[in-house]
Amino acid sequence: MKIFDFPLIHLPQTESTNSHLKEMLKNESPIEGTVVFAHEQTKGRGQAGCNWESEPGMNLIFSMLLFPSHIAVEKQFILSKIVSFALVDVLNDIQPGFCIKWPNDIYYGDSKIGGILIENEIEDNRICSSIVGIGINVNQTAFMSDAPNPISLKQIIGHDFPVAILMVMICEKLHDTYNESAIPLKIKRIEKRYGDLLYRGNGYHSFWDKNGEFTAAIVGVKPEGYLMLQTAKGDIRQYLFKEVSFTPPHV
Q: Could you count the other beta carbons within 10 Å of the beta carbon of residue 214?
A: 16
Q: Which stretch binds ligand BTN (CB under 6 A): 47-55, 81-89, 176-184, 243-251?
A: 47-55
Nearest C-alpha neighbor of 99 from the set 205, 231, 240, 196? 196
Asked if 130 is part of the footprint of ligand BTN (rule: CB under 6 A), the reply reads no
Q: Which stretch binds ligand BTN (CB under 6 A): 90-98, 129-137, 159-167, 194-202?
A: 129-137
How far apart, in whole angstroms, are the C-alpha atoms of residue 140 and residue 239? Answer: 33
Instruction: Say if residues 81 and 221 touch (Cβ distance below 8 Å).
Output: yes
Instruction: Say if residues 128 and 67 touch (Cβ distance below 8 Å).
Output: yes
Asked if 41 is part of the footprint of ligand BTN (rule: CB under 6 A), the reply reads yes
Q: Which stretch binds ligand BTN (CB under 6 A): 24-32, 60-68, 148-156, 241-249?
A: 60-68
Asked if 34 is part of the footprint of ligand BTN (rule: CB under 6 A), the reply reads no
Q: Which stretch binds ligand BTN (CB under 6 A): 59-67, 85-93, 157-165, 239-247?
A: 59-67
How far apart, in whole angstroms, are the C-alpha atoms of residue 107 and residue 111? Answer: 5
Q: Which of 33, 68, 103, 115 binds ligand BTN (CB under 6 A)?
A: 115
Q: How many residues bind ligand BTN (CB under 6 A)?
A: 20
Asked if 18 is part of the footprint of ligand BTN (rule: CB under 6 A), the reply reads yes
Comparing every residue's Cβ against ligand BTN, the nearest one is 115
* Binders of ligand BTN in range 77-96 (CB under 6 A): none
Sheet strands (E) in the chain: 8-11, 35-38, 60-66, 98-101, 105-108, 111-123, 126-136, 204-209, 212-221, 227-231, 236-239
Strand order in the sheet with 212-221: 204-209, 212-221, 227-231, 236-239
Instruction: Say if residues 18 and 119 touch (Cβ distance below 8 Å).
Output: yes
Task: With H, G, I as helix, E, B as strand and everything else as coil, classify residue 243.
Answer: coil
How far apart, in whole angstroms, are the C-alpha atoms of residue 142 and residue 5? Answer: 36
Instruction: Say if residues 25 and 32 touch (Cβ distance below 8 Å).
Output: no
Q: Which of 24, 58, 99, 116 binds ligand BTN (CB under 6 A)?
A: 116
Asked if 16 is part of the footprint of ligand BTN (rule: CB under 6 A), the reply reads yes
Task: Provide the minimum distance between the beta carbon of 60 and ligand BTN in the complex, in angstroms, as a whole number.
Answer: 8
Asked if 167 is part of the footprint of ligand BTN (rule: CB under 6 A), the reply reads no
Nearest CB to ligand BTN, comparing residues 46 and 56? 46
Asked if 17 is part of the footprint of ligand BTN (rule: CB under 6 A), the reply reads yes
Q: Which residues would be at the binding site for ligand BTN (CB under 6 A)?
A: 16-18, 41, 44-47, 50, 52, 61-63, 105, 115-117, 133-135
